[in-house]
Structure 1
Amino acid sequence: MSSTLVVHHLRVSQSESIVWLCEELGIDYKLVCHDRDQATMLAPDAYKELSPLRTAPVIEDVDTYTPNPEHIRLAESQACVEWICRKHGQGRLLNKPWDANWKEWLFWWHFTHGSFQPVCQMLLLASSLPSDHPGLKIANSRLSHYLSLINKRLGESKFLVGDELTAADIMIIFPLTTQRAFVPIDLTEYPNILRYLKEIGERPAYQKAFEKAETTLKPLLDANPKSPYSI
């Protein structure tokens, strides 16, 4: 069986992770790029219509070699990553229960969308509040704690789970990089995270993903990157 994988990338969004994943796996895919609405900085209506969530990412997978082709359209980052790894990557980058680092992988695989990215979104929403507002204090406290956890982990291993890149790394890079175009986060106090980002930025697949998917945005890998975007 063969299929055509289509990745709908909303520029300056977490769908960059899906493009990077495809490049890391070395699989064939069609990339369709969409620009944000310059007035609102949100996804354009055409992109919103692709997904019930109305957000990035969105992938389509069309079986091209059966009498009745099956057309799959899928949203939600973790679901897209798992679909691609299982169907197109022969399970690569997804650790198995019998792997030595299974417990660690399972934690970090869910950490980004379960804990880290929600607090980044909380910080974005709370950024207009007075500095002494309880909501802003909670968001900053959780963010510092989570960054310390990540930094500690990366002082123990090259990647989040041992010395090999996994899907857990694919998930966490966006909030550590491009999301800081919208939520400024100072990483000066986290040297292990900065080492990690530098090495990710040197990966040919990561570089190729940006070359294909973005026009002006460069990877935001520094402690305090200068972002051309704000909302």
Structure 2
Amino acid sequence: MLFNKPPSPARSRRDVGHEVRPRPIGPRPNGPDTPLMEPAALSRALRHAAWRDPRAERKKFTEVYSAVRTLERTAAYVDQALERLSEVAEALRIGQTTEHDLMRGLQAARIEELLDSLERLSKMAANGGLNLLNGESESLYLDFGHEAFRYVLPPFDLRRGPKGLNIPQMKDGFDNSSEIQAISQAVALAQVRVGQFAARLSHDAGMLVRMAKTYEADISVEGDIGPSQERAD
């Protein structure tokens, strides 16, 4: 479902010398809420990920593990964002259920601070020239295998603005019930979206670790073949 099928042998013979366009691995490029890659598709991809040049295997092994580190770094900031959103939801509940004006004012200020911290988290998630949490960076992608499969992870905008989580500002404190309702609904939706992206990061990191182990195994096999064995063959 999430892969274009590899070309048939007949088609491959016709396309000799023609550059194969990369095929995406994982969810289709319409956001993080799409289904994750199917196990059968991953197995198919790993079968096509075989390299016979050990130098190419080492290079790809390094690229894949670098991507895993990027996903893990991103996931750490996503987890912090989920904590912030959970604290916002709790502050909204407290502010709406208390009648003490000072407490309501403190909770309103706390909510705004927590939501503004999402902007800081999105900036801190930068890893080299790539930032998967500000919505403006390029996608993370890896090409691998002789059939030119491509893993793609589009950036997710963690910021509270309209292009990101779209959580409105609290202008009237807890005096405007419709405003509070809109903020509460936006926070609840943001928790779902960020949680789904967190699940995607976890899934994809595990998938890429499996890929890296495949390359690592191939490197080990190639390294065990000495010159005497090669001559014997």
User: TM-score if structure 2 supplies the norm length?
Assistant: 0.31
User: TM-score if structure 1 supplies the norm length?
Assistant: 0.31
Higher share in helix = 2
